Structure 1
Amino acid sequence: MLNMDCVRRIVVKVGSSTLTHPNGKLNIRRIEHLVRCICDLRNRGYEMVLVSSGAIAVGANKMGLAERPKTLAMKQAAAAVGQCELMHIYDKMFLEYGITVAQMLLTRHDIVEGSRRDNIQNTFDALLQCGNVPIVNENDSVAIEEVEALESFGDNDTLSAVVARLCQSDLLVIFTDMDGLFDSDPRKNPQAKLIPAVHTIDHKLRRVAGGAGTANGTGGMATKLGAAELCMDAGIPMLVTNGESPENLYEIVDGKQIGTLFCRKGALTT
């Protein structure tokens, strides 16, 4: 079980399956719940960072496209439209609770290049020190190689782990469309059992993780294992749980067992 006494800085990642309905339109009710929970935790003293996917899915819908775009140019166009829409919604909702948000769009080059990485870390620290909530996404409208390769960092799962490391976060929470990692695919096997904690990632676990996720997203459990490895190597616990109920954040900070916790043995656990 996670020891929340040591946790103050939390990165929360939400994917397209959490932010949108199956038809691609924004799930306003769920976004409202998510924003309210993050603001409430911010008021409780936690430093919160939100990594948000969904720009391409939201943009495609706003552009009236019948399906998720397949060509690079259309994906980037949809990302440009969708990112504007997402930030408009986030800015409006967070301001209702008196919280100022900041948009941060990153690419792989920003993470790899030393001086850029240092500047990003300094920006995160400054924003959090001022009580703001940074909202991070990949700059899909210009990051050609990332969009071509599984829509960037793997539906932002890898990006969220990178951000957690950059921020020196105490915890990464990844919201997905499942309750966590199961010992087999629960959509095919009703007897599948939730794995409550993972301390080591091996070949057997990778086989269990399977492939892609939902139609509106690109990241399945396999990309989440990659993110978990990045976090575990840095000593950062990562928790995967269902984003259908953003109120799960309260359960998490209260130290209750929920979803699947990835961490090295002894790292922030009780």
Structure 2
Amino acid sequence: MHVSSEQNNRAKSWQRLVIKVGTSTIVDTAGEIKYPVINRLSQTLTQLQKNGYEVILVTSGAIGVALQQMNLTKRPTDIPAQQALAAIGQSYLMAIYNQSFAFYQQHVGQVLLTYDVFNNKQMLQHTINAIEAMVSQQVIPIINENDVIAVDELDHQHSFGDNDRLAAIVTHETNAAGLIVLSDIDALYTANPHVDDKAVAIPLVTEITQQLLDGAVGSSNLGTGGMATKLYAAEYLMSNNRQMVLINGKNPAIILDVVNGKKIGTLFKGV
């Protein structure tokens, strides 16, 4: 099989990568946990790690999985109830990841962050040191925002607002080459493909324009992010000479194709 120089360069440049999983990727609209997707994700990231890549996972979904556990059909609106669900769901989410990764004999470690960490040089260095220690021991760090205390309605200094921004900051601060975002859509489109049959996928974005932001719509019922948050994350990374790829998370195995340079989803890369 012929491998292009572009593919070889992508494989080399993505030696350390961050994978971000949204709630809609691992929890369906009915609130059911997508165990097969989580299993395939664990298998894929383990394969990357065993092939010499350094992998960091940023995950959403704590409240999403807690809804099923607590027999709730929709996310509550009051803050203490959401905090409680975050605490319940985070432990269950990590149990799912631990069990799934353990099947492939891959160790993982939990890292819960608030925005304060990135505003405090000492705390940030401690965090990076811990992540580097895990990576050096072939352990995959699993990062989420600490939603029990990171309540942006009460204190904007403590919350990222969404995990797309968190993943972008983690990508930059850990000196990863790029971020792969798993979402419930195949790529960035010229319009909403669910309502406009003339919408076409955009394979490459070299600049985040106001036109793109104006057309960014869509968000899952269970998560807090949407297309706009992904565009802001991409803009942040591109301004720091890093790249991002947006793909559909229904089959996480295509992460391997992205790393190998295949043109899938939307690549955000500055010129």
Aligned-partner Cα distance in 2 for 1:171–1:243: 17
TM-score when scaled to structure 2? 0.93
Is 1:242 paired with 2:232?
A: no
Gaps of 5+ in 1: 266-270
Work out whether residues 30 and 73 of structure 2, in 8 Å CA contact, stay in contact via their aligned partners in 1: no
Q: Residue 112 of structure 2: which of 100, 105, 109 is its match? A: 105
CA contact (8 A) 1:72 1:148 kept: no
Letter in 2 for 1:38: L
TM-score, normalized by length of structure 1?
0.93
Runs of 4+ with deviation above 6 angstroms? 146-149
Cα deviations by residue, 1:35-89 (Å, 9 ceiling, x for unpaired): 1000011111111111000001111221122311111001000000000001001
Structure 2 equivalent of residue 221 of structure 1: 227
Q: Displacement of 1:4 after TM fit?
A: 2.3
Question: What letter corresponds to residue 191 of structure 2 in structure 1?
Answer: S
The superposition leaves residues 204-262 of structure 1 with CA deviations (integer Å, 9 ceiling, x where unpaired) of: 1111213x411111211100011011111111110001001111112112210000111
Q: Provide the rounded CA distance (Å) in 1 between the counterparts of 2:36 and 2:153.
A: 30
Residue 136 of structure 2 is aligned to residue 124 of structure 1: no
**Residue number in structure 1 paired with 2:92:** 85
Q: Which residue of 1 aligns with 2:3?
A: none
**Residue-pair matches, total:** 263
Measure, in 2, the Cα distance between the counterparts of 1:58 and 1:169.
28
Q: Distance in 2 between matches of 1:228 and 1:147?
A: 27
Structure 2 match to 1:137: 144
User: How many Å separate the matches in 2 of 1:192 and 1:147?
Assistant: 39
Q: Please, which runs of 5 or more residues in structure 2 have no aligned partner? A: 1-5
In the aligned structure 1, how far is the partner of 2:152 from the partner of 2:178?
Answer: 29
Work out the CA distance in 1 between the residues paired with 2:22 and 2:163.
8
RMSD, aligned α-carbons? 1.7
The one-letter amino acid paired with 1:49 is I
1:252 to 238, 250, 258: 258
> What are the within-5 Å matches in structure 2 for residues 32-181 of structure 1?
32-145=39-152, 152-181=159-188
- Three-state SS of the structure 1 residue aligned to 2:213 is helix
1:233 to 239, 252, 256: 239
Could you tell me how far apart the structure 1 residues matched to 2:84 and 2:149 are?
10
SS at match of 2:57: strand
Percent sequence identity over matched residues? 37
Pair 1:198 & 2:205 matched: yes
